[in-house]
Every structure is written in C-alpha cells, then in structure tokens.
Amino acid sequence: MTGVAQSAFGFLLSVGLLVLFHELGHYLVARWCGVKVLRFSVGFGRVLASRRHGPDQTEWVISAIPLGGYVKMLDEREGEVAPEEAPRAFNRQHLGKRFAIVLAGPVANLGLAVLLYTVIFANGVEGLRPVLEAPPAGSIAQRSDLQRGDEIHRVAGSRVQTWQDLRWRVLQASGSESLVLGLDRGGSTLDRQLDLRSLKREDWEADFLGALGLHSFRPRLDAVIGELLEGKPAARAGMRPGDRVLAINGDALPDWEAVARYINARPDAELVFQVERAGVAREIVVRSESLTQGERRVGRVGISPRVDPATVAHLRVTAQYSTAESFAQAVAKTWDLSIFTLKMLKRIVFGEASLKNISGPLTMADFAGQSVAAGWIVFVGYLALISVSLGVLNLLPIPLLDGGHLMYYTAELVTGRPVSDRVADIGQRIGIAMLLLLMSLALYNDFNHLLSKF
C-alpha cells in the first residue's frame, strides 16, 4: 500500500469509526427517550448506500463526504408530523431528554476513548525508561543538578514509567513557573525542581524536553551503520550495513553521536564520508536531505547505528496493567487529555499558543497513515486521541455544534422558555462563520505542514 493510499485508508477508517460512535450515542439515547429517528447518516451529501431497518424503519445511510454525520429525528420544526406521532417528536420532549440526547454524542466519543485506552494499557505500553543523558552545559536541567543516568519516576507527583509518560507530564505543566521531578540516582530517591519561566511559547511547540535539557540516555555506540532507509541519500550513494564511519569531510568522528550531530548540522549539504568496509577504506559522497524540526532545518541521510540488543534491552520497559487498573488508567488518561485540550484552546484564544497548533483533515490523514504503518496499537492510540478531541470540541458552546445546543438548553433552564427563533438564527449564522474560519485556518496550516516536507 502506497503512502497516499495508506493515509486515505487510515483517515477514512478513523473518521468513519469516530462518527459512527458519536452518532450512535445520539441515536441510542434518542430511542431510549422514545424519540423517532428518521435517518442515521455517516457522511454528508450524496447518498452512496442506504437501508431501512428497525421498528421505525430508520434509514441507515453512507454518504459521499466523509467529514461527519448526523441523526435526523422526527421534529415538528422541520416538517409536518402526523398527530399520532407528535409525542415522539424531538421538539416535544422535556428539557432533560433533549439535553441527554444532544450530550450523548460527545459522551460516546469520550467513552470510546476510555475503551480504546483500556485495550492499550491491558495489552502493555512499550517504551524507553525515562533515564537521562548528561544535560547540556548551561541548560535548565544542568542548573537543576540533573545528571547522566538519573531515572525519573515522578513528575509533579504523578508516576511515570516511560519516556512518553515523561513527555506528556511535562507538557501538562506548560504555563507553570516550575516543575518538581522525583528521580532515582544510584539507589537514592531525590527531588529536583525545574524552573520553567525561561521557556518561550515556541519552545513548548517544538522540542520542549530538549529546550529544558532533558535528553534520553544514549549508550555510547560505535560509528558503525546498522540500517539504511531505502530510497534515502545514504542508500542511493551505495553505503551498506556494517560500514564504519571514520570521518566526514575530513573531520574525524569518534562515535555515533558525533556522526549524527555532524549530519544534523548540515542540511542540504554535500558530505564526503570516509568509511571502512571489510578492512578497506573508501570515500562515499552523500548529499543530505533538509527536514524541518521545530523551527530549524536539520540534515538527514537515512542511516541508523548498529546496536547490540543487550545494550538496549535494559533501557526498554513494558508498562502493563490488570483489566481494572487498565480501566482506571484509561479514565485518568481521557480526563487528562480532555483538560489539556481545553487548556490549549484557552491558550490559543488568548494568544499564549500559536495558531499553528490547529490542524485539519490533511494533517489528520497524514498522521492516520503513519499510525497504520506503525502497527495496530499505535493506530488505536491515534483513534483514542482523536476521539477525545472530537468529544471535547463538540462540547464547545458554538452554535451548530452539540455544545451550542446545550448552551441554548441551559439558557432555557435559566429563563424558563426556549431560545427564540431569531436568536437561534443569529447563532446559526455566527456558528457557520466561526466553523468556516476555523476550517480555513486548519487547511492553511495543513498545506504549510505538507509543503514544509518538500
């Protein structure tokens, strides 16, 4: 499967599943409340396939535009309703039922995220142990007396088991002035405080761990090539696994870290590798690629080091839980992600975070394709993350979204009467304008993200 096909497949599968669960939430609660459902559609626009099913002969539909879906319920405001069916119309239901039906969609997405994260935690989450490399001189980590070999166990009181846990917990502290790390050093338990005040907004949006001076422990590796990426500059130039890099452009490089640092500092440059192959020295000319990493360009040639499995084995860990523990972890993860999403939205609105953080369907498709290629557990994690985002975003008080309807119902609860048609019409216009603006910005960021790869 090509990259484009993989991205399309991953995108359609993820959007289809998320929309299906969202609309099922509305549908099931509507049926439970006695409301007649006329149509259940995954997608918008032209109908591709349909079938009637159930006691109410609900029309189940797959439509051409796979960017959403809807549940159409019997409603006197949208057409004539037979007198005998009027009690089953949505608009005839009391406020509590209407509120529950609308709320059910976002709740279904959050519930799906809990289910998916439960599967992930029960299966076991593999990762690198959060062991630190020596922090760069003058970095925040170095000033906080962190040392090579320190293993982080807690961040702000929360337990971490993998490097990904560490990254997530530190990211949650963005906007704070300081952060306390609990660590193990040679069998002793210590606490160290990181001062976060010097980090800029762009630091948090790029390699914030690197900006703090937190780097994953790297065993000292010989400058011997282990693998080459097919189609990349090194492979095209004729390099082979087992080649030992002696120097580049005449500069001697003692280990793999020095090789990687040298290449990264030279994007889109001609590099003359002096390598040893089967005891014979030779030169190979390679032109590095230029890739964007955060706000800077870095060089890549598509090589990775030869690593002794025993050297790396003790740095890997699998965090696995019982079913009950997995569910508890999943609930906590979904809650943390929901709160973090709201915090990020607040920071974007108040100008504390870049609008570049808003992405749309093209970036979603790109990430979906990457997650499909990485394996089912990564794809399930991607689905869970997007499901949380969809659930939270649908709860925002924006007309046309579920949150907009809930806002109207809250106003009805306070005033004792429904929102007027005029107010609802104005709200709908505002909602359309806001969503169009948001979609335009997301697509603009998508195209910038994709163009930066070329």
374-389 pLDDT per residue, tens:
778 888 888 998 999 9
Give the pair of three-digit tokens for residue 233. Answer: 């500059």
Give the pair of three-digit tokens for residue 100. Answer: 């529950």
A 10 A CB-CB count for 214 gives 26
- Give the pLDDT confidence score for residue 450 in this predicted structure: 63
111 and 130 in a common domain: no
Return all residues near 238 (Cβ < 8 A) that are at least 6 apart: 284
- Give the pLDDT confidence score for residue 416 in this predicted structure: 87
- Give the pLDDT confidence score for residue 135 in this predicted structure: 92
174 and 83 in a common domain: no
The stretches in the chain having pLDDT less than 50 are none
406 is in which domain, residue-wise?
1-33+93-123+322-454
- Give the pLDDT confidence score for residue 1 in this predicted structure: 52
* Mean of the per-residue pLDDT values of the chain: 87
- Give the pLDDT confidence score for residue 200 in this predicted structure: 83
List C-alpha distances in Å: 267 to 262, 290, 454: 10, 5, 13
Amino acid occupying residue 257: E
- Give the pLDDT confidence score for residue 295 in this predicted structure: 66
First to last CA, the chain: 21
39 and 26 in a common domain: no
Domain boundary pick from 276, 306, 336: 306
> Which residues are the active-site residues?
23
For residue 255, give the CATH number of its domain: 2.30.42.10
61 and 15 in a common domain: no
> How many structural domains comprise the chain?
4
- Give the pLDDT confidence score for residue 304 in this predicted structure: 92
191 and 173 in a common domain: yes
- Give the pLDDT confidence score for residue 3 in this predicted structure: 59
Return all residues near 241 (Cβ < 8 A) that are at least 6 apart: 225, 226, 227, 228, 306
Q: Are strands 316-319 and 125-128 parallel, antiparallel or unpaired?
A: antiparallel
389 and 365 in a common domain: yes
291 and 279 in a common domain: yes
- Give the pLDDT confidence score for residue 64 in this predicted structure: 86
Instruction: Report H helices in 291-401.
Output: 309-313, 323-349, 361-374, 376-394
170 and 129 in a common domain: yes
Residue 90, classed as helix, strand or coil, is helix
Domain boundary pick from 253, 281, 306: 306
441 and 373 in a common domain: yes
327 and 453 in a common domain: yes
| Bridge partners of residue 274, in order along the sequence | 247, 283
Full-model pTM: 0.72
12 and 131 in a common domain: no
- Give the pLDDT confidence score for residue 36 in this predicted structure: 94
432 and 354 in a common domain: yes
